[in-house]
Structure 1
Amino acid sequence: MTPIALLLLAACDRPSDDAAQQPGVATTIMNQAPPAIRPTDAPANAIVPVEPAPRIDTPPSPAASDGLIPAAFQGRWTGAADRCGDRAAALELTIAPDQMIFHESVGAVQAVREGTDGRVTIDAAFTGEGQSWTRTLALRISADGRALTIVNDGTAVTRKRC
């Protein structure tokens, strides 16, 4: 072995003088247990917001006159001869308060006008199959609420409620 390696090896085996110079310092982990440590209380949160929380106003629930389709017309509809729940049915339609979802297009309601005879006229902006257009539809619901007739450009189609 080289003299430097022997010197380093000898230094590793030599007991430390740290315990004699500093009382209460353990030279190895096994010689002395640590003193009992008492957890300190958590400091108070010193974070103070610079700006007040934003105020978010929620608009009141709009009525039918505010451009929403009346509740009597809302729901799922399909062709008179179609089976309810058949999403592939050509006359399948879902009417929400603010949109009409047809089989291959969606119409966003722009205006709703209620007639005196229970009919409503809906102006909607449609999108579907890569195109956009606007249309005015006249809707009439049957007395029992089970049938809906929609007149589009002079053509009337009747659907049943699902």
Structure 2
Amino acid sequence: MNFVDAAAALLLNLSGCAHAADPIVPDRFVAHWAGSPDACGSKADDLALRIGAKHIEYWESQGPIRASVTRGNEIALIAELHGEGEAWLATASFTLSDDGLQLVDRTTIPGREVVRHRCPGTAATRPN
């Protein structure tokens, strides 16, 4: 089973957690994230990521979030991305640090964790 199938199954099987009809990302994940604290505001940061309540934007692609599932500090998303003249469905899985300042991405580069840092001025609420 590939990750897309696993994420879709997760979204369908978690009762009370899936938000397929209205995929709103919890406030604690909503932010501008950068590859390093010094990269915040840089136009050259290829790890730049903006997560909104209903939209996600990577370095060269962006689009609406179609489904989301959260469990504690973890979130799985399915987004309809577009960029460079193409459109596709993509899955993403992130884990937020306990202090809300780092976001670990395990899907952008398969087999590797990418740590992004919350940029100043992007509010966060502590996980429950």
Q: Does the residue aligned with 2:28 lie in a helix, a strand or coil? A: helix
| TM-aligned CA deviation for residue 118 of structure 1 | 2.1
More strand by share: 2
Structure 2: distance between partners of 1:98 and 1:72: 13
Q: Does 1:146 align with 2:98?
A: no
Q: Does 1:103 align with 2:49?
A: no
Q: Does 1:158 align with 2:115?
A: yes
Structure 2: distance between partners of 1:140 and 1:113: 12
Contact persistence 2:73–2:97 (CA under 8 A): no
Q: Using CA pairs under 8 Å that are at least 6 residues apart, name the structure with larger relative contact order, 1 or 2.
A: 2
Structure 2: distance between partners of 1:110 and 1:69: 11
Contact persistence 2:106–2:114 (CA under 8 A): yes
**Identity percentage over the alignment?**
33
1:83 corresponds in structure 2 to 39
Contact persistence 1:87–1:103 (CA under 8 A): no
TM-score by length of 2: 0.69
Q: Does the residue aligned with 1:104 lie in a helix, a strand or coil? A: coil
Instruction: Pick closer, same or farther for the CA change 1:108–1:155 going to 2, 3 Å.
Output: farther
Instruction: Pick closer, same or farther for the CA change 1:155–1:99 going to 2, 3 Å.
Output: farther
Q: Does the residue aligned with 1:69 lie in a helix, a strand or coil? A: coil
| TM-aligned CA deviation for residue 80 of structure 1 | 2.4
TM-score by length of 1: 0.55
**Which runs of 5 or more residues in structure 1 are unaligned?**
1-63
Figure out how many residues of one structure are paired with residues of the other and give that number. Answer: 98
Q: Does the residue aligned with 1:87 lie in a helix, a strand or coil? A: coil
| TM-aligned CA deviation for residue 82 of structure 1 | 4.6
1:67 corresponds in structure 2 to 23
Instruction: Pick closer, same or farther for the CA change 1:107–1:157 going to 2, 3 Å.
Output: farther
Contact persistence 1:123–1:135 (CA under 8 A): yes
